[in-house]
Amino acid sequence: MGFSIKEEKGFKYVDEGQGEILLLLHGLMGALSNWEAVVDEFKSDYRVIIPMLPLYDLPLLTTGVKALAKFVHKFVKYKELKNVVVLGNSLGGHVGLIYTLAHPEEVKALVLTGSSGLYENAFGGSFPRRESYDFIREKVEFTFYDPATATKELVDDVFATVNDRYKVIRILAMAKSAIRHNMSKDLYKITIPVSLIWGTDDKVTPPSVAKEFNEILTNSELNWLEKCGHAPMMERPVEFNAILKKFLERLKN
């Protein structure tokens, strides 16, 4: 990734460009680099910020989606950000939803792609067998429509993470927290514009999840990307950015 990571007051983040703020939230097994194509496309017209979520730094007893949403709020306050557009993939979308419900005055609009919050099929429905590299590769490939998107570098990163006992305990705690924290009864309170950008072949948060989000979120639009899995901004970056650009232009009118 060609962006510098800044460190201040316990926060690590990418901060590129100037203008209205796009706040990008990565998923449970995601990384800042997952958003690289979005940063490249929008940093000339927007200020694009990606905080590194403290997935492995929270006390085990408080490891969960609510704690991550509180972290995002602290980060927004520290950076004195206003009127942000929040983009979240997978767990990042879930965190964005919780944050928006808690602090609606700070969020102008939401973009959700493969978001948890209603349902997810993490790890393809099975516990990660840590010793098996082939098993981990299969599970990373499960995330995408095209298995080739699961590069060796990506698989290596996930393999290293799940073989770190300290990290894997927190990953499982966070995944359980996301499953427990179903938001179906609260989403109607979100009335800001929401763009749902979803892969038709997402096996982690299937198309039915996107349709349910679209039904409950009263001010939402649903956009499909064909031959695309759980991380559209990685697997279909050109099409994803085109949909995002149209949504952001409409927000200006």
pLDDT of residue 23: 98
> How far apart, in Å, are the Cα atoms of 245 and each of 25, 235, 248?
18, 17, 5
Is 90 exceeded by the pLDDT of residue 231? yes
In a domain, 1, yes or no: no
pLDDT of residue 171: 85
In a domain, 228, yes or no: yes
Is 60 exceeded by the pLDDT of residue 127? no
Write the CATH number for 95.
Answer: 3.40.50.1820
> Mind listing the pLDDT tens digit for each residue in 37-70?
999 999 999 999 999 999 888 887 788 899 999 9
Question: Within 10 A of 176 (CB to CB), how many other CB atoms are there?
Answer: 13
14 Cβ neighbours under 8 A, 6+ residues apart: 3, 4, 5, 6, 32, 39, 48, 49, 50
pLDDT of residue 130: 60
In a domain, 86, yes or no: yes
Q: Which two tokens stand for residue 64?
A: 């969960």
- How much is the average pLDDT of 163-191? 89
In total, how many domains does the chain have? 1
pLDDT of residue 177: 87
> Mind listing the pLDDT tens digit for each residue in 128-161?
556 688 888 888 899 999 999 999 999 999 888 8
Q: How far apart, in Å, do the first and last CA atoms of the chain sit?
A: 33
Residue 50 near residue 16, CB atoms below 8 Å:
no
pLDDT of residue 125: 47
In a domain, 212, yes or no: yes
Which stretch of 167-171, 225-229, 233-237 has the lowest confidence by average pLDDT?
167-171
pLDDT of residue 41: 97
> Mind listing the pLDDT tens digit for each residue in 2-28?
678 999 999 999 999 999 999 999 988
CA–CA gap between residue 111 and residue 86 (Å, rounded): 6
In a domain, 98, yes or no: yes
- Provide the domain limits for residue 41: 6-252
What's the pLDDT band for 230 if we cut at 50, 70, 90? very high
> Mind listing the pLDDT tens digit for each residue in 80-122?
999 999 999 999 999 999 999 999 999 999 999 999 999 766 6
H helix intervals, 188-236: 207-216, 232-235
The number of residues making up the chain comes to 253
Q: Are β-strands 194-199 and 84-89 bridged in parallel, bridged antiparallel, or unpaired?
A: unpaired
- How much is the average pLDDT of 159-177? 86
What's the pLDDT band for 124 if we cut at 50, 70, 90? very low
In a domain, 119, yes or no: yes
CA–CA gap between residue 39 and residue 196 (Å, rounded): 19
Is 50 exceeded by the pLDDT of residue 189? yes
Higher pLDDT, 78 or 31: 78
Nearest Cα neighbor of 181 from 246, 242, 117 is: 117
253 Cβ neighbours under 8 A, 6+ residues apart: none
